[in-house]
Structure 1
Amino acid sequence: MKIQNKRILASVLFVLISFVCVAQVMPPPPGPPPPPPGVPIDGGILLGMVFALFYGAKKLLLAKKDN
């Protein structure tokens, strides 16, 4: 093979390999991790329960007073 033919063959192979490398698709990034299991009872829930107890006791006392 002549030097000229080797250069042409090398150039063609380089171009073809470049097209193959560009055609590769990158995978999408992974999503966020799942949320932790269970949620602790915080101050808002506890405050709501206390409010409900006082409200219920008030209603019971007013109902007994009206009778």
Structure 2
Amino acid sequence: MTIQNKRIFASILFVLISFVCLSQTAPPPPAPPSPPPGFPIDGGVILGAIFALCYGAKKLIAPNLKK
């Protein structure tokens, strides 16, 4: 092959490679992460609220009983 033919061949290869590179698409973006599992509100919260109300009521009433 002569130098002229090698240059033409190399030019054709570069053009074909550029078409191949342009025809490729980017991968789709990843799916958003799933939300974390919700924590259920069990009876412990209600029991704690009842305990807090009883304790607060005791603290309010107890100083009045000492008099």
TM-score normalized with structure 2 length: 0.55
Q: Does 1:27 align with 2:27?
A: yes
Where do 5+ consecutive residues of structure 2 fail to align? 47-67
Query: Aligned residue pairs: how many?
Result: 43
- In the TM superposition, structure 1's runs of 4+ consecutive aligned residues that sit over 4 Å from their partners are none
Matched with 1:37 is 37
User: Share of identical aligned residues, percent?
Assistant: 74
Q: Does 1:3 align with 2:3?
A: yes
1:31: how far off? 2.1
When the two chains are superposed, the root-mean-square deviation of aligned CA atoms in Å is: 1.8
Which amino acid is the alignment partner of residue 27 of structure 1? Answer: P
CA distance, structure 2, for counterparts of residue 40 and residue 11 of structure 1: 67
